[in-house]
Structure 1
Amino acid sequence: MPKEQAVYSHGHGAATQDHARRTAADSAAFLLPHIKPSATILDVGCGPGTITADLAALVPQGKVIGGDAATEILSQAADFASSRGLTNITFEKIDANDLPYPDNTFDIVYCHQVLQHVKDPVGILREMRRVAAPGGIVAAREADYKSFAWYPEPPELARWADLYQQVARANGGEPNAGRYCHVWARRAGFAADDIEATWDTWRYAGERVRHFSLSWTGRILGPGFTGTAVREGFATEEEIQKISQAWKDWGVQEDAFFAFAHGEILCLKT
C-alpha cells in the first residue's frame, strides 16, 4: 500500500507548539457554515488537535476522528480534547496515503496545512474523496509560502524564504501548495463545478507576531530543516543559526507584522 515518503520540514518539537494556537474559527472558517450538528468528520493531519476539538464541539450529535502520522502529537491532542470535556472525539495514528476507513464513511473530510508537506497530494485528496460519503465534503486549506509578506524586511528573512523553498522540496513537499489546491482536487477526481476555491490570509502583529517569530527561531534549527539544508548543501549550520537569531530580533520590533496567504478548497462528492 502507498506510504508517506516526504519528511515533515517543521518537526513536532517545542518550537511548533505555535500550531496549538490554531482554532476552527481562524483555520476552517470557509468550512464552518457547512457543518451540521450530527456530522461525522475526519481531520487528516490533526497535529495538536485544537482545530479538531473545535470541530467536535460543533457536532454534539456527531463524532470526529483526528488522525496524524506522528504518535507523539496524538497524546497531546487527546489530552487537550479531554481538558475540554469532549466525548465525541478520538485520535488515531494514520497514513493519509492509505486511510484505514471504508468508502463513504464521513460527512466531512478536512485537512489543514497537510498537502504542502506530502509526496503525493493528489493521491491523498483521492483517499479523502474515497472515504467521504456521497453528498459529503472534502476540504483543505494550505499556505502559499511564495505569497507571504512581512515587515521589516531584514535580508536574513529573505534568505529564509528562499531556503525554505529549497528545503521543503528536498523533503518531498510543495511549499506553494495554496495555489495548487484546486488543480490537485481536479486530478483527484472532483469535477470543476464541484470545487469551490477561495483565498484567505492571516496577519500577525504585536504579541502574536512575537510568538510566531520565536516559533521560527527554533523551528529552523530542527533536523527537518537544518538537517536537510546542510546535507543538501543549501546552507551551513552557522548561516542557519544567524537566520534563527534574525527571526528572534525581528519579532520584537514594534512595527513587525507577518501576512500569510492560503488557498482553500471545498469539494462536493457527487
Structure 2
Amino acid sequence: MSKDSVYVSDHSASVLATHSWRTARNSIPYLIPHLKSNFKILDIGCGPGTITTDLAKLVPEGHVTGVEYKPEPLENARALAAEQGVTNIDFQVADIHNLPFENGSFDVVHVHQVLQHIRDPVEGLREMKRVAKKGGIVACRESADMTWYPQSEGLTKWKQLYMRVAKARGSNPHPGSRIHVWAKEAGFKAEDVKCSVGTWLYASKDEIEYWSGIWPKRTLESSFRDFAIEGGHCKQEDLRDIADAWRQWGQDEDAWFTVLHGETICKV
C-alpha cells in the first residue's frame, strides 16, 4: 500500500495479531502449486511477515522481498524470519503504485487483502504487472463476503458499520468477486486470468476464542474506532455494544464464522 492507502485500520497490536494468524497454508493454497524452488517473489502488503516467511521456505533456492507502505510492522517481520532461520528474505518500505524495482524483476508478484485498501486497485495491478517477469505470475486474494452462526444483531451492525466506514474512506470492501475484472482493466488478457475461491473458517473452540477475542480489541483500540466516530458513523457506546456482541457470540458452543475469498492467478 502507499500514501494512497485508505485502510480503515492500522498496524496496532490488535490488528497485527489478526494478520499474524495468516500462513501460506491457510491463506494462499491456490498459489503454492505454481511455485518453483528458485523463484524470486515480491509480497506486497506483507504486514508482520507470516505469509512472506512461509513463501521464502517454499522457494529455498530463490528469494522473497516483502514490502509495506509503512515501516512499523517490518521490525516484527524481520524478527520472525530471523527467529525461524529464514535468510532468503528481505523487507522494505515501498508503494504499490510506484514500486522501486526494474521491469520484469520477479517470477511472482503477490498481494493478499491489499487491493481493497488502496484508492486505485487497477493502477496497483498495472504496477504489479510491470515488475513481473514475462511468463511470470501476478497473484491476488481478496475477501468477498463473510457469514456466521448463530445470527447476531451486534455482528450484523459491525459488518454494516465496517462497510460504511470503508466506503467513506474510499476503500473497496470485499472485492473478491471482481478482482478478475480489475485484472483485465489493468491489461491482462481474459484468457490469462484464472479465478478460484478460498475460505477462512473459524469453528474449533480455540479458533472461536481467538476470533471473538481479537475483534473487540480491533473495534475499540485500532484507528477504525477513530474513523468510525470522527466520520459520524457511530458513537463510542455503539462500538462498546459491538465489542460486547463479539464476546457474547464467542461464548456460544456452536459459534462458526467464515470468510469467502476471490483469488486470481494472472499470467504475464
Provide the C-alpha distance between the structure 2 equivalents of 1:105 and 1:220, rounded to a whole number of angstroms.
39
Q: Report if the CA contact (8 A) 1:5-1:172 is conserved.
A: no
Identical aligned residues as a percent:
44
Cα displacement string for residues 131-176 of structure 1 (whole angstroms, at most 9, x for unaligned residues): 00000000010012xx211011121111111111101112221112
Cα displacement string for residues 100-121 of structure 1 (whole angstroms, at most 9, x for unaligned residues): 1010000000011101111111
Alignment correspondent of 2:129: 129
The residue matched to 2:224 in structure 1 has which SS?
A: helix
- Structure 2 unpaired stretches of 5+: none
Cα displacement string for residues 21-62 of structure 1 (whole angstroms, at most 9, x for unaligned residues): 111011111110110000000000001101001100011111
Provide the C-alpha distance between the structure 2 equivalents of 1:172 and 1:48, rounded to a whole number of angstroms.
24
Alignment correspondent of 1:225: 224
The residue matched to 2:194 in structure 1 has which SS?
A: strand
Question: Which of residues 153, 156, 159 is equivalent to 1:158?
Answer: 156
Q: Report if the CA contact (8 A) 1:15-1:214 is conserved.
A: no
The residue matched to 1:179 in structure 2 has which SS?
A: coil
Cα displacement string for residues 160-216 of structure 1 (whole angstroms, at most 9, x for unaligned residues): 111111011122211121111101100111000000011121110121122111111
Provide the C-alpha distance between the structure 2 equivalents of 1:74 and 1:62, rounded to a whole number of angstroms.
21
Alignment correspondent of 1:76: 76
Q: Report if the CA contact (8 A) 1:111-1:140 is conserved.
A: yes
Alignment correspondent of 1:176: 174
Provide the C-alpha distance between the structure 1 equivalents of 2:240 and 2:94, rounded to a whole number of angstroms.
34
1:1-270 to 2 correspondences below 5 Å: 4-16=3-15, 17-144=17-144, 147-205=145-203, 206-269=205-268
Q: Report if the CA contact (8 A) 2:101-2:131 is conserved.
A: yes
Cα displacement string for residues 38-96 of structure 1 (whole angstroms, at most 9, x for unaligned residues): 00000000011010011000111110000011211000000000011011000001111
The AA in structure 1 aligned to 2:8 is S
Provide the C-alpha distance between the structure 2 equivalents of 1:86 and 1:75, rounded to a whole number of angstroms.
15
Provide the C-alpha distance between the structure 2 equivalents of 1:45 and 1:78, rounded to a whole number of angstroms.
14
- Structure 1 unpaired stretches of 5+: none
Name the Cα RMSD after superposition: 1.3
The residue matched to 1:98 in structure 2 has which SS?
A: coil
The AA in structure 1 aligned to 2:245 is A
The AA in structure 2 aligned to 1:71 is P
Provide the C-alpha distance between the structure 1 equivalents of 2:251 and 2:47, rounded to a whole number of angstroms.
27
Provide the C-alpha distance between the structure 1 equivalents of 2:209 and 2:118, rounded to a whole number of angstroms.
29
Provide the C-alpha distance between the structure 2 equivalents of 1:59 and 1:122, rounded to a whole number of angstroms.
28
TM-score, normalising length: structure 1: 0.95
Once the two structures are TM-superposed, the CA of residue 18 in structure 1 deviates from its matched residue by: 2.1
Q: Report if the CA contact (8 A) 1:213-1:251 is conserved.
A: yes
- Aligned pair count reads 266
